Chains A and B, each alone.
Chain A
């Protein structure tokens, strides 16, 4: 996914002279061809994220479209204030490419795990937040980024993630994608959890539970209309994300579903990282499993919520699969 993302930056730069690339201190050889072909628009400025953001802002104020790439935590945590003031407040066309959104850097520990990047970026006025499901969707998102108005945060997954989207899916910034339709439950996904959502819906169908899968590659602006349209017709809603359950996809969906005041209460569950830092290393997949960001957990959660007759107001305890 990262390679695709940067390949498209290169492609866009060839096509459009406004495109600049700014990296911090990326891996050797990153965008080497870009650097050779267009050295005047390629900057590798070292581990100085506050400066990178301001520099990108200055270029964007002059009409350029800078793509800034470094590890997601450094873009979101390290220079949050620069992103808010320089990019958000000025509403500039800067694209922030965050490597390793979620638990990708599991072996490197909590300093490098971007578990709240979506929440951070969502809180900034004017910011668009995108988390593609796979390399194909990354390509479509990146192509649309060129002429998008305002700053964007684009979350990059590990790479080598299963391809679950196809070119005939009409990706559009700000639009949710309906991947499956069913009236028994609604699974809402973002980023690579689309794969889990689709698998879970397939398994649930074998049990006689038909679930919709709505994929939300653009978490902000959120496609309220699509989410509410599907939420309205089901009794059970489950969100799943490789992100803290605070302030990410689940939080965003909860906000609009609760304010919709549906005449019949919905059973609702956010699956994601609870309000903790990871205590273990290992692999991304291992941590995701530990936090219940899995197909199994979607299936069990929906199965249980579908059976439960919860009186409104009663908290339904989380069901976490442990193996």
Chain B
């Protein structure tokens, strides 16, 4: 793991430190996906977050917002102090993203909402003959929701090649491993069957993600699904694959120190 990935993870922990609660595991698996998007792929203007020609990126798995906040702040969408007010009464940033946060396209957190909204964005872009693209980041657990598959049907029907679905496929949901709670396999084939062009990639390999996100769409007649194989809690030994860190509250001083130490040592 390079310095930038470590840095972003440390910022996530420092943000978490503000209220000592949050979905840490879900944020840590997203770091490279968001980093690749915001460093290298998405078109945006931090001085004008509603710039019409920007690419739209919806974090449908809103509980991973710690990672999004850190990346948006790193890019300059809002001042650093906001991170230290995470979930506090006078703060901008809550436990799930809301549109009032500059750079956030839709209020999410209740799962299964992002893809239908992304379809509205994509249909509008096509209607306006606009060149911007729409990215929707889904959690794998979120893909239990029927609305995801209603939307997948719709995206396939309309051949929305300006729409890219990115799945953080860490294979864990709140209760346990996906294969035990609600198995999604064969996952790639499901997206293919719904009319998507599908790519699979290591979701922590920044170069591979960059490649996958840059040559879009692979098929001009289809929406794209990029399945990112990730590790829940990636980047600290104590959080990797450890569901105690899916959502945790009452985090102690020594746990924060341990997380930061382990991120540095990774």
Contact = CB atoms under 8 A, between A and B. Distances in A.
A310 interface: no
Nearest to B99: A90
A55 B115 CA distance: 8
A85 B111 CA distance: 11
Given A62-B124, A85-B113, A51 B106 contact: no
Contacts, number: 83
Contacts of B116: 50-55, 57-58, 82, 86
A203 interface: no
Interface in A66-90: 81-82, 85-86, 89-90
A59 interface: yes
Contacts of B118: 58
Contacts of B151: 48, 51, 54-55
Contacts of A46: 153-154
Contacts of B147: 50-51, 54, 82
Given A85-B110, A89-B107, A56 B127 contact: no
Given A50-B147, A50-B150, A51-B150, A58 B112 contact: no
Contact of B110 (A52, A81, A90): A81
B146 interface: yes
Contacts of B153: 46, 48, 51
B107 A85 contact: yes
Interface string B110-139: 101101111111111001100000000000
Q: Is the interface of A mostly helix, strand, loop or mixed?
A: helix
Contacts of A303: none
A45 B107 CA distance: 24
A64 B124 CA distance: 8
Nearest to A58: B120
A208 B39 CA distance: 79
B120 A54 contact: yes
Interface in B48-86: none
A244 to B, nearest CB: 26
A222 interface: no
Contacts of B119: 51, 54-55, 58
B113 A86 contact: yes
Given A48-B154, A51-B116, A58 B107 contact: no
Q: Which of B117, B119, B121, B153 has the most CB of A within 10 A?
A: B117
A318 B115 CA distance: 49
Contact of B120 (A55, A81, A89): A55
A45 B150 CA distance: 9
Contacts of B146: 50
Nearest to A41: B127
Contact of B117 (A41, A45, A54): A54
Interface string A21-52: 00000000000000000001101011010111
A4 interface: no
A61 interface: yes
B117 A58 contact: yes
Contacts of A45: 154, 157
A240 B127 CA distance: 45
Contact of A62 (B99, B110, B115, B120): B120
Interface of A: 40-41, 43, 45-46, 48, 50-62, 64, 81-82, 85-86, 89-90
5 closest Cβ pairs, A-B complex: A58-B120, A54-B116, A48-B150, A51-B150, A50-B147
25 contacts: A46-B153, A46-B154, A50-B112, A50-B116, A50-B146, A51-B116, A51-B119, A51-B154, A52-B116, A54-B113, A54-B116, A54-B117, A55-B119, A55-B154, A57-B120, A58-B120, A61-B105, A62-B124, A62-B128, A64-B124, A81-B110, A85-B110, A85-B113, A89-B107, A90-B106
Given A54-B113, A58-B116, A61-B105, 14 more contacts: A48-B150, A52-B116, A54-B120, A55-B119, A55-B151, A58-B120, A58-B123, A58-B124, A59-B120, A60-B120, A62-B124, A82-B113, A86-B116, A90-B106
